[in-house]
Amino acid sequence: MSDGPIHPGPVASGAPSGAASGPSLDEFGRIARFFAPLARTAPGALGLTDDAALMACPAGQQIVVTTDALVAGGHFLPDDPPDMVARKALRVNLSDLAAMGAQPFGYTLVTALTRELRGEAGEAWLARFAAGLKLDQEEFNITLLGGDSIATPGPLLISVTAFGHVPEGKAVTRGGARAGDLLFLSGTLGDGALGLRVLQGTLKGLSRPHAEALADRYRLPRPRVALGPKLVGLASAMMDVSDGLVGDLRHIAEVSGVGAQIKVQNLPLSPAGFAAIEHDKRIVELMLTGGDDYELLFTIAPSRRAEAVAAAEAAGVPITEIGRITAGGGVQVLDLAGEPMTLTESGYLHF
């Protein structure tokens, strides 16, 4: 599991500017006001009044569990709206579940709040944060099951543990790719990494609609929860792209004991991503290695290509064949002339 690259930057309090401070809700007050309403539809959450939640596993299913944490100044920017922070924290975990073919059903949440998020300012921030969670609970049909709320000297940290279920013995892992398999990617590549540069002010020259589209993709990942379960029994290996396409593909290659080859001309680009490359050809490397895509990268036997395409159409998610799995090891990227590219970065490495 991974939560995307950590980006250097100042630590954010996230509190609305000019907000007045006042008496702070304690842990139980915060839970009752902001988070207990998010758990009302889950009987096993017990209204968030007990020490733990109760979960039942449907017959013939396995529970899939994933945890990711987001740190202010690292995984989101100082001025990111609280509702977007909440939704990103939840969605990066849902992306991990989708990558194993799991259907999500619930999550737990830990908020480590800084001094700036106490009193009225903190309550305003938490109200917007909880509103973002509510939106995504409705979109993805999941519910809050429990968690914790603590104080920290900083930075602000949000940690989500998400739960899903998959037919027993059918979870798609990184270890099933075989030489000759086709390599597919959902959605488009590079928008999240480019969006970060837009927000940091280091990517200029784009139209306002293109810049806004890229920034939105950075702040709000699109976990492919409709597609992942439909690839169970079809994909031989799968993971989500969070730390860069080349680096994450290397994980599949290493675990599966194979190699991989990508063709640059096959990479799926959004209109905004294409415009960025037209402005600066060097951006191709950033799109290959920058991360924050949260798209599904998966392998398919050639004989099952049509089934995979049909599954993607049924899920309403575009997929693109970007290369193939080879014998041997390593990941090779071929440029427009068919020559191997030398990349200065391979993807984000966690501490």
CATH superfamily for domain 27-167: PurM-like, N-terminal domain (3.30.1330.10)
Torsion from C-alpha of 247, 333, 91, 200, nearest 10 degrees: 90
Q: Give the per-residue pLDDT at 210.
A: 97
Q: Give the per-residue pLDDT at 24.
A: 59
Place of tokens 């927000």: 199
Q: Give the per-residue pLDDT at 275.
A: 96
* 57 secondary structure, DSSP code: P
What angle do the packed helices 271-279 and 191-200 form, to 10 degrees? 60
Please tell me the distance from the alpha carbon of residue 255 to that of residue 244, in angstroms, as a whole number.
Answer: 17
Nearest to residue 100, comparing CAs of 247, 229, 277? Answer: 229
Q: Give the per-residue pLDDT at 5.
A: 53
> Which residues on adjacent β-strands are paired with residue 166?
62
Q: Are 288 and 333 in contact (CB under 8 A)?
A: yes
Per-residue pLDDT of the chain (351 residues), as tens digits, is 444 554 444 333 333 333 334 455 666 777 777 777 778 888 778 787 777 888 888 899 999 999 999 987 777 776 789 999 999 999 999 999 999 999 999 999 999 888 888 777 778 889 999 999 999 999 999 999 999 888 888 788 999 999 999 999 999 999 999 999 999 999 999 999 999 999 999 998 999 999 999 999 999 999 999 999 999 999 999 999 999 999 999 999 999 999 999 999 999 999 999 999 998 888 999 999 998 999 999 999 999 999 999 999 999 999 999 999 999 889 999 998 889 998 876 544 333
Nearest to residue 244, comparing CAs of 328, 332, 324, 345? Answer: 345
Q: Give the per-residue pLDDT at 27.
A: 67
Computed over its alpha carbons, how large is the radius of gyration of the chain?
21
Please tell me the distance from the alpha carbon of residue 96 to that of residue 295, in angstroms, as a whole number.
Answer: 10
> Which residues on adjacent β-strands are paired with residue 333?
262
Place of tokens 């945890």: 67
CB atoms inside a 10 Å sphere around CB 125: 25
Please tell me the distance from the alpha carbon of residue 149 to that of residue 158, in angstroms, as a whole number.
Answer: 10
Nearest to residue 123, comparing CAs of 240, 43, 26? Answer: 26
Q: Give the per-residue pLDDT at 25.
A: 65
* 121 secondary structure, DSSP code: H
Residue ranges per domain, the chain? Answer: 27-167, 182-334
Q: Give the per-residue pLDDT at 11.
A: 35
**Residue 101: partners with Cβ closer than 8 Å, 6 or more residues away:** 166, 170, 171, 172, 228, 229, 231, 232, 235, 238
Helices assigned H by DSSP within 220-282: 245-256, 271-279
Classify domain 182-334 at the CATH topology level: Phosphoribosyl-aminoimidazole Synthetase; Chain A, domain 2 (3.90.650)
Q: Which two tokens stand for residue 112?
A: 């480590």
Length of the chain as a residue count: 351
